[in-house]
A and B are shown apart, each in its own frame.
Chain A
Amino acid sequence: MIREKETTLYIGPQHPGITGNMMIKLKVAGDTVVKAETHVGYLHRAFEKLIENRNWLQSFTLLCRFCVPEPDPMELTFARAVEELEGRKVPERAKYIRTIVSELARIQSFLLWYGGQSGSSGLYTVGQWSVGDRNYILDLFEDLTGARIYHMYMWPGGVRRDLPKGWIDKAYRTMDYLEGRLETYNQLLFDNAIFQKRAQGVGIIPKDKAIEWGVVGAPLRGTGIKHDVRIDEPYEAYDKIDFVVPTFEGGDVWARAMVRREEIKQSIHIVRQALDHLPGGSYYNRIPNPMKWTVPAGEAWVKTESVRGEVGFYVASDGSNKPRRVHLKGAAYTHGVSVLEKILPGENIADVSFILNSLGVCPPEIER
């Protein structure tokens, strides 16, 4: 007879399940996880503290670095929070451009997720191809903002520049290309028996507990609950755009994957609609000299939908030229700690990084 003894296993801080450094201390019996504990502290860069010593506009260079795979929702959320504090109006054209950039950011993040999720199940080809396709979105960003990853493009009052000549046409053609590629990804990943068998019934979030546990975004919609900040509290041009919020029952990795598979289609659909109806006029309601610019005292809590779930900023101003407090709430703060610790027990060791990927855990968002 073999007695099963519990062993401690440390996964991380560097491992393929996540973008960033984070450790999970597992108690395992054989191959099964008995207890999981998240350990962070490898990536703390004190961004929130540094922002308190910078003026409102300088904060953007730090803000977008909160999470590498998705920098745009950070700058958009913060810009909206500052606009709420100031009562600053955003021109209609800027709202549409912000919607387009947000959805492009979602598409590039979906493609990066394809890579991570497939890589952690051993299907390496998908990742090579999707990261290659992601570059076409980054090309669009480079043409628009001058940068590929960190754009600092959506700032208070609108956007930094108008769309360059020929950009709209290039964006349409990129969307056509990506839409054509989706069938390839279906064949490679979603219709693949290996992926299906690995993903189904793994990492289940119970539907009746999901909202109470603080689950948001695709993992929440993967339990069959339809919540999306773009619908619940519409911002920018989302209230004028027709799109569907996909849901899937099950709450497992497979359900989250199915939700994301549909969401990338919806994002392409939104970009096309916003390009079709792009209004003319100004793209920027100019702010005063940024070095002397003060924001009225008050507080704002603003949310935006990212691929990993909702991104929220609590911003407090004391009326000076620097933020009093900027506090980020990213989806990973709950998904990567309390939710993960609840759903890992009972799972196989080999599925840990697979589950991490499906939750979209981004450690820099936990530590900030």
Chain B
Amino acid sequence: MSKLKKENKVLDKLKSVFNLSGEVKRKQRIAVKSDSKHVSSILLFLKNQQGFIHLNHISCVDWIEENEFELVYIVWNPKTKLTVLVHTRIARENPVMENIDTIWDQANTYEREFREMFGIEFPGLVAPKEFILEDWDDIPPMRKDFNSQAYALENFATRPGREDAQDVREVIQKRSGEELPDFAKKYSRD
């Protein structure tokens, strides 16, 4: 652990100021977990007082079994080359998360995307316009309960001759009368 002195110093500092749990995952990677209410304060602290001025990324994961969304804010310090991942979880029903585009402008792009793709609201979001999807009225498509195959079959026309979503291999077999090799028959995406 002595090798990870810089990483532990940042983690200890965060733990002393905020009520959070965390660990040093490896060299240059620190991961912390916090309540969603404190995320913007943690990020502001990291940016203004710890030198993590670069917002690398924001990611969102749907943990449908636990009925939660996980948001991961990834920030980077150009001087120490350390990266902190700030995790938080919010409820899947009527999800609301604090807007951070006042801390980093570019967070606006992520938040607009998550608003469409996961249905998460960010109150106070600057210019909450459509980002990728146009006139979408189904459930947000990046949610795990959205079935993209069923949506495609329902909404898009099938090319003539492909109406019943035939298996290409089976069609070729029927037309040619040739037996499919075993490995091709067993193939399954599941």
Q: Are B53 and A312 in contact (CB under 8 A)?
A: no
B11 contacts A by Cβ under 8 Å: no
Q: Are B54 and A212 in contact (CB under 8 A)?
A: yes
When A41-B132, A211-B78 are in contact, do A314 and B54 touch as well, CB less than 8 Å? no
Q: Identify which of A40, A50, A301 contacts B132 (C-beta below 8 A).
A: A40
Q: Are A301 and B74 in contact (CB under 8 A)?
A: yes
Q: Identify which of B54, B60, B81 contacts A233 (C-beta below 8 A).
A: B81
A49 contacts B by Cβ under 8 Å: yes
CA distance A131 to B83 in the complex (A): 38
Q: Identify which of A49, A213, A233, A325 contacts B61 (C-beta below 8 A).
A: A325
Measured between C-beta atoms, what is the minimum distance from B59 to chain A in Å? 4
How many of B's residues come within 8 Å of A, CB to CB? Answer: 36
Which B residues lie within 8 Å of A84 (CB)?
26
A265 contacts B by Cβ under 8 Å: no
Which B residues lie within 8 Å of A314 (CB)?
57, 59, 72, 74
Q: Which of B57, B83, B133 has the most CB of A within 10 A?
A: B57
CA distance A333 to B109 in the complex (A): 8
Using CB atoms, name the residue of chain B closest to A314.
Answer: B59
Which A residues lie within 8 Å of B133 (CB)?
41, 44
Give the secondary structure class of A's interface. mixed
B18 contacts A by Cβ under 8 Å: no
CA distance A314 to B58 in the complex (A): 9
CA distance A228 to B76 in the complex (A): 13
B22 contacts A by Cβ under 8 Å: no
Q: Are A48 and B72 in contact (CB under 8 A)?
A: no
Q: Are A49 and B148 in contact (CB under 8 A)?
A: yes
Q: Are A53 and B189 in contact (CB under 8 A)?
A: yes
B102 contacts A by Cβ under 8 Å: no
Given contacts A40-B132, A214-B54, A338-B105, 13 further A-B contacts (CB under 8 A): A46-B141, A50-B148, A54-B189, A213-B106, A299-B85, A314-B72, A324-B61, A325-B59, A333-B106, A333-B109, A337-B106, A337-B109, A338-B108
CB pairs A–B below 8 angstroms (8 shown): A40-B131, A41-B131, A49-B141, A213-B105, A232-B81, A301-B56, A325-B60, A367-B132
B residues contacting A by CB (< 8 A) are 26, 28-29, 31, 53-57, 59-62, 70, 72, 74, 78, 81, 83, 85, 104-106, 108-109, 130-134, 141-142, 144, 146, 148, 189
